[in-house]
């Protein structure tokens, strides 16, 4: 097994083993707080439109990563790709090998709750999942992946200060985008789950395991039961409200 940040048994000092297999940055290039959209083009959009003097630190596998400043504070933004395995890799490497303190996911979701509309913001307090990601921890029961309460508080303050529709609650992090179970979405909805996406459970579990902070801020891009939807270009660039909420959380952390 390869360790990318390890301790010398001779000196006791930590040895810098960055870059990692998936992130081409060297130590010090990534800020304490990282915004993580799934889409690398959304990462580029955030960097180019919100960060001062953004510098590209990663383009391995096309997963663009940038560091710049927002309101005078260093902030990074890093694409994660889709799904729990991909997000698990990037969040683990950022937390473990680059000493990132907090990750704020900014992504899109399919609404389950009947009162959610396209463009509404969902703050994920917790994440249900059909994934076996937690099996690696060999826990004697079922783990509940939760957001950092301090980050969630900040996000609620920001969204209420700026107005607009939002909900706080649980989301579903699903391993399946095209499910063979046609009744699954209705069952999650009936348990009060607000929306479905594919990454948050991995983020919250990884943060808990490594004693870090994490929060997911989502924008509703489609509604699973009504069929309303947005196109790919809109998902990349139009959902700026969640980006601004995340950036304010970053600079006030």
Catalytic residues: 222
Tell me the torsion sign for CA atoms 21, 26, 28, 31.
negative
Residue 80 is encoded by which pair of tokens?
Answer: 């994660």
Pairwise CA distance, residues 28 & 25, whole Å: 8
Distances (CA, A) of 48 to 6, 44, 68, 169, 184: 35, 6, 9, 31, 39
- Residue ranges of alpha helices (H) inside 29-108 are 40-50, 84-97
Pairwise CA distance, residues 205 & 93, whole Å: 14
């Amino acid at each position: 097994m390869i360790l990318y940040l390890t301790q010398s048994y001779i000196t006791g000092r930590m040895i810098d083993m960055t870059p990692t297999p998936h992130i081409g940055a060297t130590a010090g290039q990534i800020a304490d707080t990282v915004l993580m959209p799934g889409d690398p083009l959304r990462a580029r959009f955030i960097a180019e439109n919100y960060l001062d003097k953004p510098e590209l630190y990663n383009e391995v596998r096309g997963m663009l990563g940038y560091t710049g400043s927002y309101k005078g504070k260093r902030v990074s933004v890093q694409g994660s790709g889709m799904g729990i395995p991909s997000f698990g890799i990037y969040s683990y490497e950022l937390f473990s090998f680059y000493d990132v303190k907090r990750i704020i996911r900014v992504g899109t979701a399919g609404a389950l709750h009947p009162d959610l509309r396209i463009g509404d913001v969902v703050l994920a307090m917790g994440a249900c999942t059909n994934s076996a990601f937690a099996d690696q921890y060999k826990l004697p029961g079922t783990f509940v992946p939760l957001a950092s309460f301090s980050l969630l508080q900040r996000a609620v303050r920001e969204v209420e200060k700026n107005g607009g529709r939002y909900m706080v609650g649980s989301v579903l992090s699903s391993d399946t985008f095209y499910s063979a179970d046609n009744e699954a979405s209705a069952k999650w909805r009936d348990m009060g789950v607000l929306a479905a996406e594919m990454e948050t459970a991995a983020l919250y579990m990884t943060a808990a395991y490594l004693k870090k902070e994490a929060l997911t801020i989502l924008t509703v891009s489609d509604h699973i039961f009504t069929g309303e939807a947005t196109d790919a270009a809109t998902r990349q660039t139009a959902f700026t409200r969640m980006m601004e909420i995340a950036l304010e959380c970053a600079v006030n952390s």
